[in-house]
Amino acid sequence: MKILVTGGAGFIGGNLSIYLENRGYDVIAIDSLERASSKGLLEDYGVKLIALDLRSSTDIPRADIIIHAAAYIDVDESFRKPYEYIVNNTAVTMAIARKALDYNAKLIYLSSAAVYGEPRYIPIDEDHPREPTSPYGLSKLMGEQAVSFYGRLGLRYAILRLFNVYGRYQSVSYTGVVSRFIERVRMGKPPIIYGDGSQTRDFIHISDLLKLIERVIEVDAEGIYNAGSGVETRIVDLAKLILKLANLELEPIYMDARIGDIKRSCADIRKARSLGWSIEKAVEDGLRELLYS
């Protein structure tokens, strides 16, 4: 089976391309290389990489499945560059969805929990209202709507709403709080928390996400699925756990909360579990691996 991964040299796309290649799939990674963090790794694992900016061209090879991971993902940046986020995250998604329909390929779109906005209830299920609080979240929601539009024209698709993914090869530019905390702790500095630290997030290790995506492929699942751990973690507890694992007796530094940050987040993952998938990596184990890898 031939699988094409857009954003295939980024954090999630790179990990995914390598994982699927090792699992025996014929993988082609597409990436503009603008914000690539896994380019060298793809070459090491024998993954074919095509340098292509999808904003300029969607002249991509045919494939049985297209996994659309390419996106800008910085919430703060999206407030400064909303137009660029709509073009890169929405218009490109629409073009990729159309291409998948033309190729009679199934599309797996990696969306974001940012489409939900501030939750009305916890845990958040897939039917929760979508009220994004940032241009980033809006661009991902509009991407979902583009995919759904082509679905009504015959496109086969699955949408995964990613919560806070962390793991190997994650760059600070990915804006993951885990990567930012660990970078500072490795330098012997305390983590910086924006807000009072009581805000919560749902952290899913990249290995568990990759297995979920593979499960979607294996059972030919369609529809919308939350991709999280189902565990709600306070940011201050995350910071203190990382400090404890690093054997550092420091206290986090607190700064003003940032615009667009939601207060709580935790996924209802019963729908994903119904596919025969489950979480295997606890947050503490995943953090320990990152600190000492």
Give the residue numbers annotated as catalytic, written as ranges: 136
Are the C-beta atoms of residues 42 and 66 closer than 8 Å to each other?
no
Residues 171 and 104: their CA atoms lie apart, in Å, by: 34
Residues 131 and 134: their CA atoms lie apart, in Å, by: 9
**Torsion angle, alpha carbons of 130, 136, 139, 141, to 10:** -20
The two structure tokens encoding residue 203: 């952290």
- For 236-258, give one letter per residue: b (16+ CB within 10 A) or e: bebbbbbbebbeeeeebebeeee
Residues facing residue 35 across a β-bridge? none
